[in-house]
Amino acid sequence: MAESTPARPNVIWVFGDQHRAQAQGHMGDPNVRTPHIDRLAAEGVTFTNAVAGNPWCTPFRGSLLTSRYPHKCVYRTPSQMDPSYPTIAMAFKEVGYDTAYFGKWHLDGRSENQGRSAFHIVPRQRRGGFNTWIGYENNNSQYDCYVHGHDHRGEEVELYRLPGYETDALTDLLIDDLHRRAADPGDASPFFAVLSVQPPHDPYIAPAEYAGRRNPADIILRPNVPDIPRIRDGARRDLCGYYAMIENLDANLGRIRAALAELGMTDNTHIVFFSDHGDMLGSHGYTAKSQPWEESIRIPFIIGGGVPFYGQRGGRYAAPPLNHIDIAPTTLGLCGLPTPDWMSGFDYSGYRRRDNDLPLPGEPDSAYLQHNVRKFHSHGIDRTWRGVVTRDGWKYTCLEHQPFGLYNLNEDPFEQANLAYQPAFRKQRQHLQDQLAAWIRETEDEFPLPTL
């Protein structure tokens, strides 16, 4: 009798917007309680060097789905992703997976000066090839969120307003979809599902039960927030709402895990938790995203869930330089699927199967950072920039024709000592610029590097 082929595992992506890696309980932030995220980390593997290689909404999302670098996909916000590009949903569908997407899309190029993006209808052919797609282009009002799309039968879902708070309501949609799958005994297809929510993106508004938990005066700021009253006071106010939104997202992750357990899906479902980029929130005097500092580029990235990998212990922290273009190949790898030749990223799924932090064969020793347009945000850097962050804890960034930052993150995790102009570190600066130049060549990017 022939042995049956084991069922492929399911995968769920859960990700928010502007959730910086430092804002998690298990990462040592004293201001926030994230028991469900912490449990996911305790049972899985946390990638402490994971970065948003372009810390901006639309460029990240295009690269997330296609594993193409932003200058080869979408390089600014807002911008429309070319619908001819294959996506991770298509790669999963080719091997029999059902696919579903719920929440923020931000890949159809709608600008707010054209009318509110929450009301914009994303055409079917520009929904990434998902079997189910119920979402919105963009929304900055968590209690006034509208969705549209098509359901698992392919029938159009007309625009409607979600009840209550966005993260709660979108989680309801995902959980309802899990129940639908469990109720259909004739559907044995594995699934790839995505929950993409706007929080903790500003405005920093959360349900009352979370918003009332802290006082601005009690917030412990990061050491790199300047001792300037207007910056520190604003950061404390914003962080109260920011942490409340994260705690609400954490609770909804707990709801998803409870639903998986109730439906008997835990042991065959990977959960990948991450964010599209971080948020400065006063560090170095800056706000929001698009900056080259750690609070902006560093993202949570946890692979957990109940899928057993024998010999692998949970609660591990691994240091490979995982970039946003690596998320799709890594997700496919978790399911034993090869990386398609049209993807540019590296498959880091091996870290979920092993018990050490040694580099995988062929693993890059750095991640490529880029911001491709001048962005005139009120409290951001109004220049294009490039950079690298290495496995061994160095980071180098530059503006056009000019070094910008050189940091040894091992001794200076808050980036308070810029070594870019110190002759003692000339050789290290040159070494990192050589790595950066190699990334620019290999990815067919263009950028005028400094003359050192």
Q: Look at residue 310 in the predicted model and tell me its pLDDT.
A: 54
Residue 50 lies in a domain: yes
Q: Tell me, what DSSP letter sits at residue 283?
A: G
Residue 374 domain flag: no
Closest CA to 442 of 72, 62, 88: 72
- % the chain with pLDDT above 70: 98
pLDDT band at 3 (very low <50, low <70, confident <90, very high): very low
Encode pLDDT of 297-326 as tens digits. Answer: 999 999 999 877 655 667 899 999 999 999
For residue 4, pLDDT beyond 60: no
Strands of the 146-150 sheet, one edge to the other: 156-161, 146-150, 132-136, 98-104, 191-196, 10-16, 269-275, 301-305, 45-47, 316-318
Structure tokens at 366: 């750095």
Q: What is the mean pLDDT of residues 16-35?
A: 98
> Domain containing 141: what range?
10-352
Q: Is residue 179 part of a domain?
A: yes
Domain boundary among 332, 352, 372: 352
pLDDT of amino acid 324: 98
| CA–CA distance, 378 with 361 (Å, rounded to integer) | 43
The CA-based dihedral angle spanning residues 75, 78, 83, 84, taken in that order and rounded to the nearest 10 degrees: -20
Asked if residue 216 is part of any domain, the answer here is yes
Q: Which amino acid is at 259?
A: A
> Does residue 451 sit within a domain?
no
Does 1 have pLDDT greater than 50?
no
Would 410 be classed as within a structural domain? Answer: yes
Look at the chain and report how many structural domains it folds into: 2
End residue of a domain, out of 310, 329, 352: 352
Q: Are residues 261 and 114 in the same domain?
A: yes
Instruction: Give the CATH number for residue 428.
Output: 3.30.1120.10
Q: The domain spanning residue 16 has which CATH number? A: 3.40.720.10
- Edge to edge, what strands does the sheet with 385-390 contain? 366-371, 385-390, 394-399, 402-408
Is the same domain home to 283 and 423?
A: no
- Identify whether 275 is part of a domain: yes
**Measured distance CA(161)–CA(187) in Å, rounded:** 30
pLDDT confidence band for 12 (50 / 70 / 90): very high
Asked if 422 and 292 sit in the same domain, the reply is no
Task: For residues 83 and 195, state if they share a domain.
Answer: yes
In a domain, 413, yes or no: yes
